[in-house]
Amino acid sequence: MKNNIILLSFISVFAFGQKKVKIDENVLKYEIKDDFNRFDDVSNSENDYERLSINFKNSELEIKNSQSSKFTGDDISFIINNKLELKSVSYDYWTDYIDFKNIRTYKVKSSKLILNQNPFFKSNGLRGKYILEIEHYWNDTLTKTTKFKGKFKSFKGINKTSADYLWVMQQNKMGDAILNEDGIYLRPDKMASLKSNIKDLTKKIKEIKVNKPNRLKAYLVIDENGKVEKESITFLEYIDKEFKMQVTELLFEFTEWYPACVNEEEVKSRIPIIIKID
């Protein structure tokens, strides 16, 4: 998945100096659904990336969290020394769409990390939670600041028949309903699907009298009522400006969708589409 596509990846590292990592054995429970992104090392055959990795090197520990929605993803890394000082934090939002004219970068403005135990004494069963304050830059201009909430747990050494392990394995098989920073589901329980006829849409696209690519690749946001959000359509390859405008109108006016569902509730979601034109 992630290794098979071209990534646009700009990582920001925030050095925290002598900031201490807090230890609290009663830190937030991992095996519940909440607004924290989950990362663990329980195998999920549907994914070919590592959600959680814990690596020791000399007197330092790196904790990595990763998640992917096929075309985009988030990578977070914490470097901690054996005095439990948080040396650095990095955040990376990656995508397979490369726009060299509009470079997006990210900086971790602040971070709060809590662990349930000292990992230098014991790493099995390590779990933690964190909140990152992230600055978004577009061509070096600050555009917004958002928060990213995550939690993680290592299940190494934990009984694989335990209720906690089985819960996580089931959740990972179902696929996490990952929410992005705008509250849009990237991997809901049930994906949005096209209600209208794709052949009719393709025919109308072919009738557009301007330069056309061989295929159309884009992200669509489908709301709870099955309608495309026009302002959220993102084309993943360069296309003619006039063609882009006309296709946007067609996608908005000419398509009907069954909305995505999470826990049997209709939700706003984002999906990738590829339409072969020639």
Does 186 map to a domain?
no
34 and 143 inside one domain? yes
Lookup: tokens for 260: 């995505």
Tell me if 52 is assigned to some domain. Answer: yes
Domain interval for residue 252: 193-276
When pLDDT is cut at 50, 70 and 90, the band that residue 169 belongs to is confident
How far from 107 is each of 97, 104, 172, CA to CA, in Å? 20, 10, 29
Res 130: pLDDT: 97
Q: What is the CATH number of the domain that holds 219?
A: 3.30.2420
Closest C-alpha among 210, 205, 196, 219 to residue 276: 205
Q: Does residue 20 share a domain with residue 148?
A: yes
Is there a single domain that holds both residue 100 and residue 38?
yes
pTM for the whole structure: 0.61
Per-residue confidence (pLDDT) for residue 15, from 0 to 100:
52
pLDDT tens-digit readout, 79-116: 999 999 999 999 998 876 666 677 889 999 999 999 99
Please indicate, yes or no, if residue 132 is contained in any of the structural domains. yes
Q: Residue 188 domain-assigned?
A: no
Burial 20-39 (b: 16+ CB within 10 A, else e): ebeeeeebeebbeeeebbbb
pLDDT 10s digits, 21-48: 999 999 988 999 888 989 999 875 454 4
Q: Is the pLDDT of residue 213 over 90?
A: no
Q: Are residues 96 and 61 in the same domain?
A: yes
Asked if the structure places residue 163 within a domain, the reply is yes
Mean pLDDT across 164-188: 73
Summarize pLDDT for 109-148 with one digit per residue, the tens: 999 999 999 999 999 999 999 999 999 998 889 999 999 9
The pLDDT of residue 170: 75
